[in-house]
Amino acid sequence: MQDVTTFYLSRVLNRKVFSQSDRVIGKVADILVNVQSQKPQVAAIQIKTGNKTTIIDFSSFTIVKHNNQYLFKCNNLYNTWKDVKENTLFLKKNVLDRQLVDIDGRKLVRVNDLRLAIFAAGAYVVAVDVGIEGLLRRLGVAKPMKKLLDIFNVNMPSKLILWNEVETIDFGHEGIKLSSPFSKLSTLHVSDLADIIEDMDSKIQAEVFASLDEEKAADVLEELETDVRIHVLESMPIEKAADVLEKMPADEVADILDELEEEKAQELLSEMDSETSEEVRELLEYDDDEIGSLMATDFISFHKNMTVEDTITELRRMKPESDTIYYLFIVDEKERFVATVSLRDIIVSQPNTTLSEIMNEKVVYVTDKDKVDSIDEIISKYNLLAVPVVDKDKVMLGMVVIDDVVYNLLRSTRRRRL
């Protein structure tokens, strides 16, 4: 016999459990682990004897390997649990075949098997097997299949992921209270996180999205497909949904609310703060074929008499998003559009230079009532990253950025295909 240092869950399930006197007392039905530690620590073994199950504390067990078989010996049959303790879960019942997020691979995976290791401090789950080998191991055909493939010089696909590199997402409905639920997901890029959420079932989608802070949730919401976006918004309390929307640009909010039922959209607008709500309502008034429907209302404008030094100081104070500084707009005392000035010209100019000295007055602009089709040609012809949008009196209202134009084109293409 030899002491066991590592083993797979599938290899020990249904194995016989012996007493100190080598009497068979049952079979391993499941393993319970405590999920509050960094790695799930084995806390107890569930034993099945006939139709009866008993949970015995893991401290009463030793595990050895004999003739390539795992043997469980229990030295205290009375060290039992009356009930399942808080923050523990069954590996077979709660983890096998469940969904996890591979943080490094940035994708959703399904657990085919689990690898455990025994240390001086106890036994722990150290890795999950999400490969075909894990599935074949559970079916009991992994070894013969390996031998068959060896004849043809073919390796069996194996995929182990360390527990530290996965995020548990599918245990909440089992009453498990994780110490920091979904915390690893916040480290992912919002686009990757959105892709992962889209692959989850609808219940888990709502739970994961609800766990994000408002800033992260707002960024992810912009990346989600329409049907998932609608689902997660409708699953959230109206107050929380409104708080998330308030973190987003008004034009993005308008696009999202345009996808919802009228009653739900109005409910969210009423819950949002009045200034943001009014801005969004104004954008919703535009027809889909009007440029105002694509317009971003977050833009940066200055007066032409400001110096470069004052402008840079103001930009540092504002800390604007990257897509709002494609161009800086110059307006007069009545907020009418006058010219643009590039960030590049500001950076290379002397501090006491006024914006009037470096601004470009020969700039193409559009009105909010112009047709969307016209913006495509303008951006392409003049190689622009953003186009200013004004009203009939030339008062600056916003801008259309190239990202929104591309998105609109793609959306229109998808609609034509449908």
| Residue 270 predicted with pLDDT over 60 | yes
Dihedral sign for Cα atoms in the order 165, 240, 252, 322: negative
Alpha-carbon distance 81 to 60, whole Å? 12
pLDDT score, position 116 = 94
Burial class (CB in 10 A: 0-12, 13-18, 19+), 28: buried
Averaged pLDDT for residues 185-208? 86
Q: Is the pLDDT of residue 4 over 80?
A: no
The rounded mean pLDDT for the chain is: 86
Return the minimum-mean-pLDDT range out of 20-29, 199-208, 295-304: 199-208
179 has a pLDDT exceeding 50: no
d(CA 194, CA 307) in angstroms, rounded, equals: 42
pLDDT of residue 382: 81
Question: Does 88 score more than 80 pLDDT?
Answer: yes
pLDDT band at 417 (very low <50, low <70, confident <90, very high): very low
At 414 the pLDDT is 40
Amino acid found at 315: L
Domains and CATH numbers, the chain: 2-92 (2.30.30.240), 94-168 (no CATH), 188-285 (1.25.60.10), 301-417 (3.10.580.10)
Confidence (pLDDT) at 157 = 66
Q: Please, which pLDDT band fits residue 3 given cuts at 50, 70 and 90?
A: low
pLDDT at 180: 47
The whole-model pTM stands at: 0.68
Say yes or no to pLDDT of 411 above 60.
Answer: no
Q: Is the pLDDT of residue 278 over 50?
A: yes
Over residues 312-324, the pLDDT tens digits come to 999 999 888 776 7
The answer to whether 17 and 47 are in contact (CB under 8 A) is yes
Predicted pLDDT at 418: 36
pLDDT at 172 over 60: no
Express as a percent the part of the chain with pLDDT over 70: 90
Q: What is the pLDDT of residues 243-254, one digit of tens each?
A: 999 999 898 899
Q: Residue 53 above 90 pLDDT?
A: yes
pLDDT over 50 at 105, yes or no = yes
Q: Over 70: is that where the pLDDT of 160 sits?
A: yes
Decide which of 167 and 160 is more confident: 160
Using an 8 Å Cβ cutoff, are 284 and 292 in contact? no
Burial status of residue 243 (CB atoms within 10 A of its CB: 0-12, 13-18, 19 or more): middle
- With contact defined as beta carbons under 8 Å apart, do 130 and 110 qualify? yes
- Taking the C-alpha atoms of residue 47 and residue 13, their distance in angstroms, rounded to an integer, is 10
Alpha carbons 91 and 168: distance in angstroms, whole number = 12
User: Per-residue confidence at 175, pLDDT binned at 50, 70, 90?
Assistant: very low
Rounded to whole angstroms, how far apart are CA atoms 130 and 3? 27
